[in-house]
Amino acid sequence: MAKDSYLVGLIGSGIGPSLTPALHEREADRQGLRYLYRLIDIDVLGAPPEKVGDLLRAARDLGFDGLNITHPCKQLVIEHLDALAPQAQALGAVNTVVFEDDGRAVGHNTDVTGFAASFARSLPDVPLERIVQLGAGGAGAAVAHAMLTLGAGRVTVVDALPERAAALADSLNRHFGTGRAHPAAPDDLPGLLARADGIVHATPTGMAAHPGLPLPAALLHRDLWVAEVVYRPLETELLRTARALGCATLDGGGMAVFQAVDAFRLFTGREPDSTAMLADLRELAGAVATPR
């Protein structure tokens, strides 16, 4: 018999502004569920990231049904789990933990599926042969996996830290086949973007706390599509510049929503209304951006 009451949470650093609790709770209200989503901010608790295992065990003991996990705990939580879903195993990162009826804590990654669903919905017909990705951190790993899963021919990973770009490219090639991913440095961007079909941006640049462009505006041209992972604000300077040139674009709101859609499904076993959740995100993001 399906439950009608859920207790879930989010573990991470500096998560006070997160819109994820509201996305989950609004969808639960539509479905007539009692659903409490709590923030477990390690900064507020004064707990180092390495204590994520203690927080996980405490949540299980207190009767939580599951947890979302965000920076800087997505890799650290893995050693404290009983099992990993294939996507999380391949990525080496977990953003959703489900406490199953038998007490096991199972890790999933809905960042990959969330970005893939958003991209397929909004940019279904763009060419995918040559993609340049900016950023090789946690978000970069997720979206690179998503793009190769969607059939991208080649993803060139550009990062300010050459060793990080190389490590991600090596991991992708092991999973998807030799030659599917290549590392590059920012100095390589002029030549890369002249031949690319599109750009995936996966760095913090463009967030409210990190305004600006992640690359020189002169390197953009109308034959590129541009996909963004930042969703606060929904219109980053990168997207605004790209749209002015006539580029097809994708903001980060879809990834935020569809990863929440997949997590909600994992927590409850119920099918969420993704269209309504997309509307929720845009309303919530707009309310945050509007001066009071």
Catalytic residues: 74
Q: How far apart are CA 3 and CA 288, in angstroms?
A: 32
Q: Which residues contact 52 (CB under 8 A, 6 or more apart)?
A: 11, 42, 69, 73, 76, 77, 80
- Tell me the sheet residues that pair with 106: 83, 98
Pair 257, 8: CB distance under 8 Å: no
Q: How far apart are CA 77 and CA 91, in angstroms?
A: 13
- What does the angle CA 134 – CA 139 – CA 140 come to, to the nearest 5 degrees? 35
Pair 73, 67: CB distance under 8 Å: no
Pair 42, 12: CB distance under 8 Å: yes
Q: Which residue has the tokens 């970005």?
A: 115
